[in-house]
Chain A
C-alpha cells in the first residue's frame, strides 16, 4: 500500500498539492506514482516565472521505461523549483512528499484547491487501478 497523507490534495493523474502558510502551493507526485514509474532517472521542472493554467503539463518525470507529464493542480505562476532533483532524481522515489517536491506555484485562483481530491477520494482512484 502506498502512502497517501491526509493533509494533501490530489489530482486523479497522481499529483499532490500542499497549501503553504505563505500562500504558495507545493506540487509533487504521489507515492503511488513514483512506485509505478520505478527508479526515476530525470526530472524536468518548469521555468521559474512560467504562468500555467490548471491542468497544463508543467513537469516531466522520467524512468528508464516511462515518461510522464506532471500537470499543475492549480493555475498560477511558478515561484520555485526543486533544483536538487537535477542531480538526484531519486529524491522523488525516496521522499515523494518531502525532499522530492517538484515546484511551487503562486495560485492565481486559490479556490481551485477546493476542487481537488482529498486523501480518501484519491485512495479510491489508486485502488481502482489495481
Chain B
C-alpha cells in the first residue's frame, strides 16, 4: 500500500471553495507584502479527505492493534472522553474569557486537581505542564526554587538512577543542575551504598520512577526517602509508571515531595501519534508555594484562577494559557467513569495482565531480565541468548511482530538490559489477545531457529520494509522539493 504525497495531487487553480470566506482585499504595507503565495497543496476537499484517510490506514493504533509498548501505557482511549471534551461549550471557549463565563470549565479542572491529589497523596496540583517532560521540568524547577528560597544555593546536584528515562537527566540539565548517575543492583533495586555516596551538601534531590523502568517495585523506597531527606534533598516521582500502582500505593505516602503524572498514560488521554500529552504536577506541603500557575481554585461556590498574585513564589508559567485544556477534560471524564471503586482496578488488572504474559512467555522459554521479581504493570524479556546463538536480535523480533499484527514492545530501553523488549499489555487487553501475542512470539522464535534470515528481513507485509536510517540521517531529506523545482 502506498499513498503519494499530497503535493503530487495538487493542480494549479484547484480549490475547496466551500471553505472560503468572501474575497476582500488585504491592506499590507508594500514592503511587507508576500510576493509569491506559499506553495501549499491545491486540492479538492475530497482529495484531501481521501489522502489523509488513506494515510491513517498505514498506521498501527490502539483501536486497530494490540500495542504493548512498554513505559507508554497504550490502553483503550474511551470515545466518550473525546466526545465530551469536544462539546461546543468547551471547544469554542477562549482561554482568556472572564472567569464568570468559565465556571463549568473551571469546575472540571478544580475537581480533576482534587482527584489527582487524592490518588497521589499530594497536597497541591497544577495542571499546566503540557507533557510529561514539562512536568518533570516543573518538578525540578520547584526543587531548585525551594532550596534557593532557603538560601541554600549550593544544592545543584540531581541524582538519577542509570535505568531512568532520558528525560530525567535532560530535565536536570535544563534546570541548570548537574546529573549524578547511580547504578541499579542486579535485582533491579537501587544500590543504597551508591546512593549514600552520592548524597551530600550539594544534593538538590533525586528523580525516581517507581516501579522503575526495569518493571519492578523499588522495595527500599522508604529507606531511600529517609536517606535523601536526611541529606537535605527532596524526592521527585516520575509518574511514567503510575498505572502500576494506581489505588494501591501513593507516591505521597512513599515519601515523595513532588510528582508529575502522564495523563496520556495512566488517565487514558490519546497519544495522538506523539502528543498532545499532559504532565500535571503534584506537590507536598513544602513545595506548595512554588507550583506553576495558573491553578484552578474554589471560593465558596465560585471558581477562579490563581496566578502570580496569589502565589508570588511560583516558578512561573509554562504555557501561553493553562496547558492542554482539552486533554485535562478527557482525563477528568475518564477518572469520573472509573470512580473511587475503579482506580485500584487499573493497577490490579494491569499487573494481572503483565504477570500472566510474563509467566506464559517464560513457560515458552523466553528469558525474563528479572526472573526472581514480580512484574509490575510491565516487564522485560531479554533476547541476548537468541542474539548470540541465532543472530536474531530484539529489533528483529520487534519487526517480525509487526508482520503478525502486533505493535512491537519498546526495544533497547532501558539501556542497561541487553537486547531487551519492555512489554506493557495494560489492563484493557483481553486474555485472548495476550495469548495471541505469546503465540506470535513462539512462532517467531521457531522461525529464528529454522530460518534466521527470514526474521532478520522482516517486516514483509507492511507499507514499507525496513528503512535505511543511516541514509535518512546522512542525506537529509526533511522537506519535499517538486522535481521541476529540484532539477
The answer to the question of A77 belonging to the interface, with a C-beta cut-off of 8 Å to chain B, is no
A39–B412 CA distance with the chains assembled, in angstroms: 18
Q: Which of B412, B469, B472, B474 contacts A89 (CB 8 A)?
A: B474
Complex formed: what's the CA distance from A63 to B472 in Å? 11
Shortest beta-carbon distance from B328 to chain A in Å: 35
Write out the residue numbers on chain B whose beta carbons fall within 8 Å of the beta carbon of A42.
Answer: 473-474
CB contact list, A64-90 vs B, under 8 A = 64-65, 89
B472 partner residues in chain A, CB cutoff 8 A: 64
* A65–B470 CA distance with the chains assembled, in angstroms: 10
CB-nearest residue of chain B to A62: B473
A41 in contact with B474 (CB, 8 Å): yes
Chain B 456-474 interface mask (CB, 8 Å, partner A; 1/0): 0000000000000110111
Across the interface, which residues of A come within 8 angstroms of B469, CB to CB? 64
Shortest C-beta distance, B395 to chain A (Å), equals: 10
Residue ID in chain A nearest B412 by CB atoms:
A65
Q: Contact: A41 with B473, CB < 8 Å?
A: yes
B473: chain A residues within 8 A (beta carbon) = 41-42, 62, 64
The interface bits of chain B over 430-473 (1 if a CB of A lies within 8 angstroms of the residue's CB, else 0) are: 00000000000000000000000000000000000000011011
Interface residue count on the B side (C-beta < 8 Å): 6
- Please encode chain A, from 31 to 63, with 1 for each CB lying within 8 Å of some chain B CB and 0 for all others: 000000001011000000000000000000011
Bound complex: CA A41 to CA B473 (Å)? 6
Count of chain A residues with a beta carbon within 8 Å of a chain B beta carbon: 8
Task: Determine the distance from Cα of A15 to Cα of B473 in the docked complex, in whole angstroms.
Answer: 24
How far, in whole Å, are A39 and B474 apart by their CA atoms in the complex? 10
Residues of B contacting A65 with CB < 8 Å? 412
* Docked complex Cα distance between A110 and B470 (Å): 38
Q: How far is the CA of A61 from the CA of B123 in the complex (A)?
A: 46
Complex Cα spacing A39 to B470, Å? 7
Contacts of A39 in B (CB 8 A): 470
Residues of chain B with a CB closer than 8 A to A89's CB: 474
Give the docked Cα–Cα distance between A42 and B412 (Å): 22
- Docked complex Cα distance between A63 and B470 (Å): 8
- A28 CB to nearest chain B CB (Å): 20
Residue-wise interface mask of B (383-419) relative to A, using a CB-CB cutoff of 8 A (1 in contact, 0 not): 0000000000000000000000000000010000000
1/0 contact string of B294-317 vs chain A (CB within 8 Å): 000000000000000000000000
B470: chain A residues within 8 A (beta carbon):
39, 41, 63-64
Distance between Cα atoms of A63 and B473 in the complex (Å)? 8
B470's closest neighbor in chain A, by CB? A39
Question: Nearest chain B CB to A79's CB is how many angstroms away?
Answer: 28
User: Which residue of the partner chain B has the closest CB to A38?
Assistant: B470
Residues of A within 8 A of B412 (CB): 65
Per the bound structure, the CA–CA distance linking A64 and B469 in Å amounts to 7
B84 → A minimal CB distance (Å) = 41
Give CA–CA (A64, B474) in the complex, Å: 9
Query: In the assembled complex, how far is the CB of residue B411 from the closest CB belonging to chain A, in whole angstroms?
Result: 10
Q: How far is the CB of A44 from chain B (nearest CB, A)?
A: 14
User: Which residues, 8 to 45 on A, are CB-close (under 8 Å) to B?
Assistant: 39, 41-42
Q: Find the residue from A39, A41, A42, A65 having the highest chain B CB count within 10 A.
A: A41
B394 CB, nearest partner CB in chain A, Å: 12
Complex-state Cα separation, A65 to B412, whole angstroms: 10
Please name all residues of chain B whose beta carbon is closer than 8 Å to the beta carbon of A41 when the two chains form the complex: 470, 473-474
- Cβ contacts A to B, 12 pairs, < 8 Å: A39-B470, A41-B470, A41-B473, A41-B474, A42-B473, A42-B474, A63-B470, A64-B469, A64-B470, A64-B472, A64-B473, A65-B412
What are the 3 tightest A-B residue pairs by CB atom distance, in nearest-first order? A41-B473, A64-B469, A39-B470
Chain A interfacial positions (CB closer than 8 Å to B): 39, 41-42, 62-65, 89
For the complex with contacts A41-B473, A64-B470, 12 further pairs of A-B residues with Cβ separation under 8 Å are: A39-B470, A41-B470, A41-B474, A42-B473, A42-B474, A62-B473, A63-B470, A64-B469, A64-B472, A64-B473, A65-B412, A89-B474
